[in-house]
Structure 1
Amino acid sequence: MVRENPLEARGETFFLNLRFMLIITVFAGNAIEPLITRMNGMHGLYMWIFSFHMPLFVLVTGYFAKQSLNGAAGRKVLLQIGMQYLIFQSLYSALDVSLFHVNGIHHSIFAPYLLLWFLASHACWRLLMLGMGKWSKTAQIAFAVAAGVAVGYLQVDGVWFSISRTFVYLPYFVIGYHFSFAAFARLYQKYIKAAAAAASLLILAVLAISGPDIPLGWLYGNMTYMQLGAEEWYAGVYRLALYAVQITASLAFLGLVPYGLSRMTDWGRRTLYVFLLHGLVVRLAAASGIYDYVGNAAGAAIVLLTAVLFTVLLAQPAVKRLLHPLVEPSVNWMITLQRAALRRTP
């Protein structure tokens, strides 16, 4: 019997804890978005969340991709991502037309609907990693950073095909894929971890009290430099500076993540359900007009608490049992058809 490496098991526990904490910030960030123009504290919290949550989410995705990038497992994951994208792109678009009526949405299979950019980009990250498979780790990271900077110069809408976010966040996927938990754990011992956690809370306090007015498009990563109004030839330097800010904020947030097993670890195994379904909750809340009644700190606190409660609810095993065919559709039939077609090929 092969015994699991204790360090690998500890690393998986840490990253599952991190993944659940990040999905809380994803839900919370989307839930408070209607409030950020009305409440300075919510604007600061929103900026704090966006300073690290997507970079770290992509990093975690890259870390777990190591287990299923190549071979039959990798092909199966890509097929499932494609099915998830088609299902939820159709579902969200249909609900938007009939119920949500959100402004500024491109209703096209080639323009991922809001949060679904992550699925499109995830498939691209995997394909790019396969293409870079024979490169050194240093070359992969260098290419990813260069591509993340260069994509901003394209004279196109960065939303199409999720091209902007795919390359802007590619460095974090590559870093996650090569991430050494052993080296991280040696560094983030008691005092370093506590200092990092304190730094993250300090960043939050500074942003909440007197945060800089950074255009949110820079934090979203879905806009070109032209769309952001940065038409200087050296606009790529701004993205490099933002990478430095995001890495700093991410390293600080990692100090808040526990190493030990807990219920949160188990919930972290089902964050895909929270990610794909939470948009329905947020859109329904916005369409209901409930945000018109939120105008003070108490109301904002209730919104945040509700987001946390829904995150826990959607991460429950019962939700997975009920919605598994929708969220994780079987692609075995596609693999069977492919094998049958290959057998018939002369």
Structure 2
Amino acid sequence: MTKDVKLSNIKGILIFLVVLGHLLLVVRAGMEPLIVLIYSFHMPAFIFLNGYFAKNVTFKKVINLLLLYIIFQSFYAFITYFTHYSEAFTFRFTTPIFHLWYLISLACFYLVAISLNKIGKHRLWSFFIITGILVISIGIRWWATGFLVNHPQVSGQFLSIQRTFVFFPFFLLGFYIDYKTMNKCKTILYSFKFKLLGSSILIFGIVWLLSTNLLKFENAFYGFLQSSAFAINWRNFFEIEFQQYLIACIMIAILFALINQSENLLTLWGDNSLVIFLFHPLFFFVLRMYTSNLTQWNIFLKLTFVICISLFVCSFLVAISKWLCWITNPLNTILQFRHDRNKAALEE
């Protein structure tokens, strides 16, 4: 598949929002509406694109993701301890640190994609698999409430199980959209005459809805908190679940309508999104240690400061990405090392 600049640009704005969303947590007070808006769609949109690009995914990608998880889970175990993010040093692979849940979830998504490709995406057994995933996706947080109460030793983030199922529908949506349909959708959304006005109205309506109970929606959008954190009964739970998926889909459509397909800074960020994703928390943990006075600034200053830092983080990590590529693709690095060693042995 040839490079799609528009999709690279969308990935670019999404990875910027990932960085911005995390850094906003440092100066949280007054930033809640923006935080919740970002969290309502940035990971669903990323996972939707993961599904779209997973048409011919291989086991090598799964292995690479698991290696990345082992490496960075170990790395951030030390970072969180030395930056005082964790009160005690904890080193376990069953509870992902900070952003690393995404690597486990993506590995699971890819395994299902490989299975569906092997069975046949449109065969009856694939339909049963997808139906099962969707049913679990909708109900897992309701079921998890009782389970976690009865098993307090188990974390809601255990192996990213809840998040994996909560976000699975977005992956499947992207996976089942073919290239022709995607191109039609991009053309229709981008050529819509009143896209800016329509997008503004939709975003305003979404912000208004979210503002009715920011904490409730934030807890729902995280994906790993059980239903008791954002719903009082099963009707309220399913109402919020529906709103979560609907808002994310609307925001994904808005991205496709507003983002153009000319190469720019977003393209660079999108093409290097993995490097930015893996390393940006370093700035979060360090910034968190030295910005206690920042919370006293007014909202405009805090937002300006965090946006500037986010721009710097994305651009800086892209600038040094060529020196980090060996660690972002550990499987290839290992295979290349073995190849070079065997070649050297033969030459001797």
TM-score, normalised to structure 1, is: 0.81
Letter of the structure 2 residue corresponding to residue 306 of structure 1 = I
Task: Indicate which of 86, 98, 116 corresponds to 1:102.
Answer: 86
* Whole-Å separation in 1 of the counterparts to 2:71 and 2:26: 27
* Whole-Å separation in 1 of the counterparts to 2:232 and 2:49: 30
Counterpart in 1 of 2:39? 50
Pair 1:30 & 2:14 matched: no
* Whole-Å separation in 1 of the counterparts to 2:195 and 2:89: 41
Counterpart in 1 of 2:303? 300
Letter of the structure 2 residue corresponding to residue 52 of structure 1 = F
Q: Mind listing any 5+ residue stretches in structure 1 that lack a counterpart?
A: 338-346
* Aligned length in residues: 318
Show the 5 A alignment for 1:1-346.
9=3, 12-36=4-28, 38-39=29-30, 42-66=31-55, 68-69=56-57, 74-102=58-86, 107-133=91-117, 134-136=120-122, 139=127, 142-152=131-141, 153-154=143-144, 155-156=147-148, 157-179=155-177, 180-188=181-189, 189-191=191-193, 193-199=195-201, 201-203=203-205, 206=208, 210=211, 212-215=213-216, 216-228=218-230, 230=232, 232=234, 235-290=237-292, 292=294, 294-296=296-298, 297-316=300-319, 319-331=320-332, 333=334
Identity %: 20
Deviations 1:232-281 (A, max 9, x none): 47734431232122222332233221122234223311010110100011
* Whole-Å separation in 2 of the counterparts to 1:113 and 1:105: 12
* Whole-Å separation in 2 of the counterparts to 1:254 and 1:213: 26
Measure how far apart 1:29 and its partner are.
0.6
Choose 189-198 or 242-251, whichever is displaced more. 189-198
Task: Sort the Cα spacing of 1:185 and 1:108 in 2 relative to 1 into closer, same or farther, 3 A.
Answer: same
Q: Given that residues 196 and 254 in structure 1 are in contact (C-alpha distance below 8 angstroms), is that contact kept between their aligned partners in structure 2?
A: no
Letter of the structure 2 residue corresponding to residue 307 of structure 1 = S
* Whole-Å separation in 2 of the counterparts to 1:290 and 1:239: 35
Q: Mind listing any 5+ residue stretches in structure 2 that lack a counterpart?
A: 149-154, 339-348
Measure how far apart 1:231 and its partner are.
5.2
Task: Sort the Cα spacing of 1:235 and 1:192 in 2 relative to 1 into closer, same or farther, 3 A.
Answer: same
Measure how far apart 1:328 and its partner are.
2.2
* Whole-Å separation in 2 of the counterparts to 1:252 and 1:117: 26
* Whole-Å separation in 1 of the counterparts to 2:53 and 2:172: 11
* Whole-Å separation in 1 of the counterparts to 2:315 and 2:171: 26
CA RMSD of aligned residues (A): 2.9
Task: Sort the Cα spacing of 1:129 and 1:104 in 2 relative to 1 into closer, same or farther, 3 A.
Answer: farther
* Whole-Å separation in 2 of the counterparts to 1:81 and 1:291: 38
* Whole-Å separation in 2 of the counterparts to 1:242 and 1:204: 11
* Whole-Å separation in 2 of the counterparts to 1:291 and 1:44: 21
Q: Given that residues 31 and 307 in structure 1 are in contact (C-alpha distance below 8 angstroms), is that contact kept between their aligned partners in structure 2?
A: yes
Letter of the structure 2 residue corresponding to residue 302 of structure 1 = F
TM-score, normalised to structure 2, is: 0.81
* Whole-Å separation in 1 of the counterparts to 2:250 and 2:295: 36
* Whole-Å separation in 1 of the counterparts to 2:327 and 2:296: 33
Q: Given that residues 219 and 230 in structure 2 are in contact (C-alpha distance below 8 angstroms), is that contact kept between their aligned partners in structure 1?
A: yes
Choose 122-131 or 147-156, whichever is displaced more. 147-156
Deviations 1:2-22 (A, max 9, x none): xx7xxx65xx21110000000
Measure how far apart 1:282 and its partner are.
0.6
Task: Sort the Cα spacing of 1:281 and 1:176 in 2 relative to 1 into closer, same or farther, 3 A.
Answer: same
Q: Given that residues 100 and 284 in structure 1 are in contact (C-alpha distance below 8 angstroms), is that contact kept between their aligned partners in structure 2?
A: no
